[in-house]
Amino acid sequence: MILGELLGEEARFDPRFATLPIAAISADSRTLKPGSLFVAMAGTRDDGLAHVAGALAAGAVAVMAERAPSPPLPPTIAFVQAANVRLALARAAARFHPRQPATVVAVTGTAGKTSVAYFTRQIWEALGLRAAYVGTLGVVAPGREVHGNLTTPDPVALHRMLDALAGAGVTHVALEASSHGLAQYRLDGVRFTAAAFTNLGRDHLDYHASMQAYLAAKLRLFAEVLDARATVVLPRGEPGRALPGVAEVLAIARARGLKTLEILASAASPLPPGGDLRAAIGMAGLAQALRFEPPIAGMRDVALPLTGIFQASNALVAAGLAIAAGGEPSAVVAALSGLKNVPGRLDLAGAKHGAGIFVDYAHKPEALDAAISALRPFVLDGGRLIVVFGAGGDRDAGKRVLMGRVAAERAELVVVTDDNPRSEVPGAIRAAILGGCPGAIEIGDRAAAIRWAIGELKHGDILLIAGKGHETGQIIGDRVLPFSDHDVVAAALAEGAP
Ligand SMILES: Nc1ncnc2c1ncn2[C@@H]1O[C@H](COP(=O)(O)OP(=O)(O)O)[C@@H](O)[C@H]1O
Ligand SMILES: [Mg+2]
């Protein structure tokens, strides 16, 4: 592609370079290929302009930056001046890799991005569409699963991937949009059909200077990245329970004349007023049941094989996205009964005497609290919520006592065990946790702890095994021993533990 086709009005350069062939775009001088446009960005630690010499040595033929490099570039090298180099990079990447699946949707919010995007892909798959997911879990596409965190990759990698997915016949993509990615203009070249907002909480404040800056980054998606024909999907608060951030997103959507689709998902009876997709959430054994009010083209009751209200709410936001993207509403809603939860998130690993055994990756105090809150309604009268957990070694030691306190306050029976002690003395980690839950049972061996807890289970109880989720190892010293909470549960149930 030539420079003049790669760049739009967001960038300026000497017209004599308009026909200069560009072989690739790169923001990293170390991996740059000859013939590339080098994009010099100001990073948090590093100024890209400091690497211009390296980029030229590697064969860059053009340099894009917000200000001119010093020393000046040789006369044969094109200088491209961009007022916002990150935005210009995103737009250039979109032109360089021009194919995009016809339907791309984004999910932003403090919590629930992975879940909503993962559910949206599953709904599309149930509708017979070729759909992909891109986010924290990696890429999931028909016949292809790549693991590794891809929560809003850099724009060149993102557009290369979208182009490849489109080339492989994928027509629908659900993407997690992190606030970092939005603040860094990584999604600006993507043509979105719809975008969802899940919620706003205090998170990532280490990166964003303030709650305002954090919200502003998320709002960019709705204010600037979405085009005017896109639909905004968002949860609707209940009377007296406004959801933080939702009013701001709605205000932007209204000001821009964007279509909106509001999701009302509530356990309250009667169902509060308002909302475009309205569902009452009820319990159904260890899973849930949705009742649509009004029914969706005749569909009224749908079983949802997921546990916990927040999962139901995420599933409905995903349904909203699929409907906003043109899915036939009754088919979308029917697809909810086939959803699988995100691996390791409130995963029903088994049951004993009807007491559910859940595996969840919660490994921080707030997450432990959230998982317990989600499971609490499933504990029957007279039943107990039992939690088995530990804390990792060589990591944030301050959270240990806090996790202990959460467990002591929120669960009826607490078992403290090991969770990747790494180089630390496991007993010392457990002792720190026990400082917050002095009444807990201590069983260092994680398999033994899980077996013991399963042995305790009676009808009406719920067991939460927290911390590992879908991990498949226990890190002791510098060795990773094969370990799976799921496998231990399955073996214990098969043997009739203890
Ligand atoms: N809608 C929600 N409301 C509140 N908390 C949620 C919601 N969805 C998810 N969570 C919490 O956030 C955790 C991470 O969920 P995930 O879908 O991975 O979100 P993200 O990708 O935004 O980090 C969950 O295990 C749960 O504790
Ligand atoms: Mg995520």
**For residue 107, which atom of ligand 1 is closest to its CA?**
22
Q: Does 192 lie in the same domain as 279?
A: yes
Q: Does 172 lie in the same domain as 282?
A: yes
Answer yes or no: are the C-beta atoms of 253 and 222 closer than 8 Å: yes
Q: Minimum-distance ligand to the CA of 138?
A: 2
Out of 113, 115, 218, 309, mutate this one to test ligand 1's pocket (max ligand atoms within 8 Å of CB): namely 115
Determine the pLDDT at residue 153.
82
Q: Is residue 357 part of a domain?
A: yes
The pairing of strands 287-296 and 299-304 is antiparallel
**For residue 362, which atom of ligand 1 is closest to its CA?**
25
282 pLDDT exceeds 60? yes
Determine the pLDDT at residue 299.
92
Determine which residue's CA is closest to atom 3 belonging to ligand 1: 310
* Gap between the terminal Cα atoms of the chain: 67
Out of 151, 200, 263, 310, mutate this one to test ligand 1's pocket (max ligand atoms within 8 Å of CB): namely 310
Q: Does 133 lie in the same domain as 188?
A: yes
Distance in Å, CA 149 to ligand 2 centroid: 8
Q: Is residue 90 part of a domain?
A: no
Determine the pLDDT at residue 238.
87
Distance in Å, CA 186 to ligand 2 centroid: 16
Looking at every residue in the chain, the average pLDDT score rounds to 94
Region for residue 491 given its phi and psi (left: phi exceeds 0; alpha: psi -120 to 50; beta: otherwise): alpha
Q: Measure the CA–CA gap between 80 and 14, rounded to whole angstroms.
A: 8
Distance in Å, CA 291 to ligand 1 centroid: 23
Determine which residue's CA is closest to atom 19 belonging to ligand 1: 112
Q: Measure the CA–CA gap between 322 and 338, rounded to whole angstroms.
A: 15
**For residue 360, which atom of ligand 1 is closest to its CA?**
25
Distance in Å, CA 473 to ligand 1 centroid: 23
The pairing of strands 413-416 and 441-442 is parallel
Determine the pLDDT at residue 27.
92
Domain stops at, among 59, 85, 111: 85
Q: Does 420 lie in the same domain as 395?
A: yes
Answer yes or no: are the C-beta atoms of 230 and 258 closer than 8 Å: yes
Q: Does 309 lie in the same domain as 206?
A: yes
Q: Does 427 lie in the same domain as 366?
A: yes
For residue 364, name the pLDDT band (cuts at 50, 70, 90): very high
Distance in Å, CA 113 to ligand 2 centroid: 5
Q: Measure the CA–CA gap between 226 and 83, rounded to whole angstroms.
A: 21
Q: Minimum-distance ligand to the CA of 107?
A: 1
Residue type, position 108, single letter: T
Determine the pLDDT at residue 498.
59
Q: Measure the CA–CA gap between 139 and 206, rounded to whole angstroms.
A: 27
**For residue 371, which atom of ligand 1 is closest to its CA?**
27
Distance in Å, CA 53 to ligand 2 centroid: 37
The Cβ of residue 327 has, within 10 Å, a number of other Cβ atoms equal to 23
Domain stops at, among 85, 115, 144: 85
To the nearest whole percent, how much of the chain has pLDDT over 90?
89
Per-residue CA distances from 383 to 274, 389, 457 (Å): 36, 20, 9
Cβ-count burial 156-186 (b if 16+ within 10 Å, e if not): bebbbbbbebbeeebebbbbbbbbebbbbbb
**CA neighbours within 13 Å on the CB side: how many for 473?**
9
Q: Minimum-distance ligand to the CA of 361?
A: 1
What CATH number is given to the structural domain containing 51? 3.40.1390.10
Distance of CA 222 to the CA centre of its chain: 18
Average pLDDT over residues 358-362: 97
What CATH number is given to the structural domain containing 110? 3.40.1190.10
Q: Does 379 lie in the same domain as 303?
A: no
The Cβ of residue 149 has, within 10 Å, a number of other Cβ atoms equal to 11
Q: Minimum-distance ligand to the CA of 318?
A: 1
**For residue 317, which atom of ligand 1 is closest to its CA?**
1
Q: Is residue 241 part of a domain?
A: yes
Per-residue CA distances from 441 to 4, 417, 492 (Å): 68, 9, 19
Residue-range definition of the domain harbouring residue 9: 3-85
Q: Does 322 lie in the same domain as 457?
A: no
How is residue 422 written in tokens? Answer: 């790494």
Determine which residue's CA is closest to atom 9 belonging to ligand 1: 112
Q: Measure the CA–CA gap between 235 and 222, rounded to whole angstroms.
A: 15
Q: Sign of dihedral through CA atoms 446, 449, 454, 460?
A: negative
**For residue 366, which atom of ligand 1 is closest to its CA?**
27
Determine the pLDDT at residue 47.
85
Of the ranges 67-71, 137-141, 172-176, which is most confident?
172-176
Q: Is residue 91 part of a domain?
A: no
**For residue 367, which atom of ligand 1 is closest to its CA?**
27
Q: Minimum-distance ligand to the CA of 110?
A: 1
Distance in Å, CA 126 to ligand 2 centroid: 22
Which of these, 354, 348, 369, lies nearest to 485 by C-alpha position?
A: 348
For residue 144, name the pLDDT band (cuts at 50, 70, 90): confident
Q: Is 459 exposed, middle or buried (0-12, 13-18, 19+ CB in 10 A)?
A: exposed
Q: How many domains does the chain have?
A: 3
Distance in Å, CA 157 to ligand 2 centroid: 18
Q: Is residue 236 part of a domain?
A: yes
- Phi, psi angle pair for 342, to nearest 5°: -60, 135
Q: Is residue 446 part of a domain?
A: yes
Determine which residue's CA is closest to atom 15 belonging to ligand 1: 112
What CATH number is given to the structural domain containing 425? 3.90.190.20
Determine the pLDDT at residue 275.
96
- Claim: this prediction has a pTM higher than 0.85: yes
Q: Is residue 219 part of a domain?
A: yes
Distance in Å, CA 114 to ligand 2 centroid: 4
Question: Any idea what DSSP says for residue 133?
Answer: E
Residues within a 6 A CB radius of ligand 1: 111-115, 136, 176, 198-199, 310, 313-314, 345, 367, 370
Average pLDDT over residues 254-270: 96
Token look-up 């300026």 returns 12
Domain stops at, among 62, 85, 108: 85
Determine which residue's CA is closest to atom 8 belonging to ligand 1: 112
Determine the pLDDT at residue 44.
61
480 pLDDT exceeds 60? yes
Q: Minimum-distance ligand to the CA of 341?
A: 1
Determine the pLDDT at residue 230.
98
Q: Does 380 lie in the same domain as 357?
A: yes
Distance in Å, CA 458 to ligand 1 centroid: 29
Determine the pLDDT at residue 202.
63
How is residue 90 written in tokens? Answer: 């995103």
Distance in Å, CA 72 to ligand 2 centroid: 42
Distance in Å, CA 353 to ligand 1 centroid: 29
Q: Give the helix/strand (H/E) hosting 396.
A: none
Q: Does 196 lie in the same domain as 239?
A: yes
Q: Measure the CA–CA gap between 155 and 171, rounded to whole angstroms.
A: 19
Question: Any idea what DSSP says for residue 242?
Answer: P
Q: Does 413 lie in the same domain as 304?
A: no
The DSSP bridge partners found for residue 463 are 357, 386
Q: Is 16 exposed, middle or buried (0-12, 13-18, 19+ CB in 10 A)?
A: exposed
Q: Minimum-distance ligand to the CA of 314?
A: 1
Render pLDDT for 287-327 as a digit per residue (tens, 0 to 9): 999 999 999 999 999 999 999 999 999 999 999 999 999 99
Render pLDDT for 203-244 as a digit per residue (tens, 0 to 9): 555 555 677 888 888 999 999 999 999 999 999 988 888 898
Q: Sign of dihedral through CA atoms 231, 237, 242, 243?
A: negative
Q: Does 396 lie in the same domain as 319?
A: no
Q: Is residue 92 part of a domain?
A: no
Determine which residue's CA is closest to atom 23 belonging to ligand 1: 111
